[in-house]
Amino acid sequence: MKTLPKLFENNRAWAASVIAEDPDFFPNLSQQQNPEYLWIGCSDSRVPANQVVGLAPGEVFVHRNIANVVTHTDINCLSVLEYAVNVLQVKHVIVCGHYGCGGVMAALQDHHLGLIDNWLCHVRDVRRNHEKQLVAVEDETERTNRLCELNVIEQVRNVCATTIVQGCWEKGNPLAVHGWIYGIEDGLLRDLDVTITEQVDVAEAYRIATRK
Ligand code: CO
């Protein structure tokens, strides 16, 4: 258990297959990264950012946490966002949730799980904001999935409200913030139609996306 030989074996095979296709791949990538996208997703092992959108190393900057939460006091998330927007100058921020998210499910239930309850308070806030709509959904799976979607939409709004994104738009730099959701059962992404490209879009996009 002190070493994981299988993973190193996998790694050597992977590196060799990449080099076989493009001998300059790693030397080129070592010089710079130039991703166009920042992915903010859930830590869930079934939603790996690069694979889901078919992008190679170097093409997507990634931040993941439980239930893809963006909160204005999270120095980790804000640092990633600032670096992506101001230094790497990504053109798209994608908040991607997924159906059947365990974090969202826990936020819908009132069980105490421990430390994570504090983190999931952010998702419980989303639940409270849309309580009326959620209680009207009778099927439990459907209710969870709607909260998964609403959580993405709320986090898109949080991304847009940061000084980082606001500052980017004030300078006239192009930046689109997207809200997507991934189906673990079929491997497909859905666009929640909440893409925001400038400050004036925020309230309207939120209103349309959250109504039922
Ligand atoms: Co999840």
Domain extents for the chain? 1-31, 32-210
pTM of the predicted model as reported, rounded to 2 decimal places: 0.94
Ligand 1 center from residue 195 Cα (angstroms): 21
Per-residue confidence band for 205, with pLDDT thresholds at 50, 70 and 90: confident
Give catalytic status of residue 44 as yes or no.
yes
Give catalytic status of residue 42 as yes or no.
yes
pLDDT of 16 reads 98
- Please name every residue paired with 38 in a beta bridge, in sequence order, or none if there are none: 61, 93
> What's the mean pLDDT in 139-162?
97
What does the mean pLDDT of the chain come to?
Answer: 95
- β-strands 92-98, 37-42: how paired? parallel
Ligand 1 center from residue 57 Cα (angstroms): 23
Give catalytic status of residue 96 as yes or no.
no
Q: Provide the strand spans (E) within the chain.
A: 37-42, 60-65, 92-98, 176-183, 188-191
Least confident of 35-49, 57-71, 90-104, 106-120: 106-120
Ligand 1 center from residue 123 Cα (angstroms): 11
Task: Provide the percentage of residues in the chain whose pLDDT is more than 70.
Answer: 100
Are 47 and 63 in contact, with CB atoms under 8 Å apart? no
Q: Which homologous superfamily does the CATH classification assign to the domain defined by 32-210? A: Carbonic anhydrase (3.40.1050.10)
pLDDT of 60 reads 98
77, 96, 101, 160: the catalytic one is 101
Ligand 1 center from residue 27 Cα (angstroms): 35
* Distance (Å, whole) CA 198 – CA 174: 8
Ligand 1 center from residue 58 Cα (angstroms): 24
* Distance (Å, whole) CA 57 – CA 105: 31
